[in-house]
Amino acid sequence: MTPMLWGAGVLVALLFLLGIGTPIAFALGFVSIAALILADGWGSLSILGETFFGGLASFGLVSIPMFILMGAAVASSPAGKDLYEALDRWLNRVPGGLVLSNLGACSIFAALSGSSPATCAAIGKMGIPEMTKRGYPNETAAGSIAAGGTLGILIPPSITMIVYGIATETSIGRLFLAGLLPGALLTALFMAWTIFDCRRRGIGLNALGRRFSFRERFAALPRVLPFLGIIAAILFVLYGGIATPSEAAGVGALFCLIFVAVIYRLWRLSLYNSLFRDTLKESVMIMMIIGASELFSFALSSLFITQTIAEWIAGLDVNAWVLMAIINVFLLFAGFFLPPVAVILMTAPILLPIIIQAGFDPYWFAVVLTINMEIGLITPPVGLNLYVINGIAPNITLGEILRGSLPYVGCMVAAIVLLCLMPGIALWLPNLVMGTAL
């Protein structure tokens, strides 16, 4: 069999297993083992264990459970509610101000958690009932939270950026900086569309008469500022070269736990059982996907599938931007079926040499790839955020959630176009702080 036929067989088998509900890590592992046995015989099993655990033998992976713990600590406490209320008091005079408050809360919570599903769940539990109670349509309430939750994988500290950095051996600190301005840009595009749409449809205008004094507005900030201080401190020690991502994540998680205990007087250890259990479950899931993806990459390479695809793409006699458009379509398609971590681990090592050869910056490409993954989080058939929202608001149908989130897909496409026209949006800040990458 030729490498392309092997590749087609592997893809069909993988999509079949995912389609019948097999967990991603097990689907990747089973397809990898089966392909290697069929190609090289049972002797290939002797190196599978070493390959699997070799994918996990990176100290940088320690930062992933620490950032998950940091987000879980905030999500399990009233911190998310305080953040939401503080933004609502400052933005209530703007058309659609409650939606803007939710989007702003999503962007800040995303920076604390680094996880899109966690952001959706934490802000959605508070924001969706409040918006529907004040007369916002179901699709606006649910769609805005689903879209705002996607910011969790772009705004630093981002788990997917850490995974990309490990998979491509690029600087995680520089990746975080590269995602900062695009994350702010995407949040601004989301808010601009929300203001336009709410003003056009007359949504949420009844809240404009409600006024908060400056005393009321500032009164909501003291409980929020310590957590914002953690974000600022993490970014400072990372970009200043004071600490590694793992060290910064560990200290950040510790201080989040301390602040939650002190500020909200949550002292009973039993309260933290579910927190640590959820952190462990999500961390193990991600680690299993990382190990299985390493096995999958090894199988693709052993069957010369990776090299053949790379040669085919590199051999296309097309303009570099046409090549980038093809890659974007491929990433969008992959994001429809697989979560961001799996897509990055499977595609980044293949695509990185190609985009560098075409003259594109790997840190800029990381941002473009991440926004493509964000689109996949709110589009069927997988659309993880859609199901998270449906789980916390079962009275809102998937169709309503999808209709509400689709306009924000347009915002993401616009952000990708702007990044292509002005790469400096992603590269200016890391080059300023850390110097030009070699």
Give residue limits of the domains in the chain. Answer: 59-290+306-434
Neighbouring residues of 292: CB distance < 8 A, sequence distance ≥ 6 = 24, 25, 26, 28, 29, 32, 52
Position 251 pLDDT exceeds 70 = yes
pLDDT at 366: 93
Question: Phi and psi for 76 in degrees, rounded to 5?
Answer: -85, -5
Of 207-211, 242-246, 289-293, 302-306, where does mean pLDDT reach its minimum? 207-211
pTM of the model: 0.77
Task: Decide which of 148 and 301 is more confident.
Answer: 148
Mean pLDDT, residues 310-331: 80
Contact between 385 and 117 under an 8 Å Cβ cutoff? The reply is: yes
Pick from 141, 158, 151, 154: which is nearest to 389 by CA?
A: 141
**According to the model, what pLDDT value does residue 307 have?**
66
pLDDT of 418 reads 94
pLDDT at 276 over 80: yes
**In terms of pLDDT, which residue wins out, 237 or 86?**
237
Q: pLDDT: is 5 or 245 the higher one? A: 5
Q: Out of 56-60, 391-395, 409-413, pick the least confident.
A: 56-60
Q: What is the pLDDT of residue 438?
A: 57
Residue 92: pLDDT over 70: no
Report pLDDT for 320: 84
pLDDT tens digits, residue range 25-39? 888 888 888 888 888
State the pLDDT confidence band at 204, using cuts at 50, 70 and 90: low
pLDDT score of 283 more than 70: yes
Ranking 33-37, 144-148, 402-406, 433-437 by mean pLDDT, the lowest is 433-437
Q: What is the pLDDT of residue 282?
A: 76
Give the pLDDT score at 253.
85
